[in-house]
Each structure stands twice: as structure tokens, then as C-alpha cells.
Amino acid sequence: MGTGKIRYWAAAKEAAGVAEEPFDAATLGELMTKITRDRVELARVASRSSFLVDGAPVGRRPHDEVLLGEGVTVEVLPPFAGG
């Protein structure tokens, strides 16, 4: 089980209602399930977002295969206008 913090940027921050929060999750898929439960707008934004785990892009890897270790930082980056 990984623990760490998740940071939200731009529209994700607005949808989450916080800039960051702690988490406990073994995979990015599990984390996405936990953070979007009962947060419809965050689920919508997250479905279009890119993710970084300790600064490394997740890319197109299935979220259930992205393991989260102890003390990691996950960043949610929604699409940004203007490049």
C-alpha cells in the first residue's frame, strides 16, 4: 500500500476543492477510484487529465498497473489551453 499526497492543478484543483490531499492506495487506479467517489466533477476532469508520479509521466499505461510507493506525490494535470 502506497501513501503520499495528490496535488491537483487548474480545473482539477477547482473540482477537488483542495490543492492537495493525502492518500493511501496501492495503484493509481485504486487512487482514482477513491478520490472520485462522490465527486462527479473531479471524475469528469480526471478522465481527461494526465498524471505524474514523483515527476514521471504515467502516459498511456493502465492506471491499475502504476504502482504507488511510500511517500510519492501524484499530480493531476488537466488539459491546459495555449500549449
Q: What is the model's pLDDT at position 36?
A: 97
Q: What is the model's pLDDT at position 81?
A: 55
For residue 73, the cross-strand partners are: 5
Q: What angle do CA 55, 71, 41 make, to 5 degrees?
A: 65
Q: What is the model's pLDDT at position 82?
A: 52
With residues binned 3-state (H G I as helix, E B as strand, rest as coil), the percentages for the chain, rounded to 5, are 30, 35, 35
| Residues of the chain below pLDDT 50 | none
Task: State which amino acid sits at residue 35.
Answer: I
CATH superfamily, domain at 2-77: Beta-grasp domain (3.10.20.30)
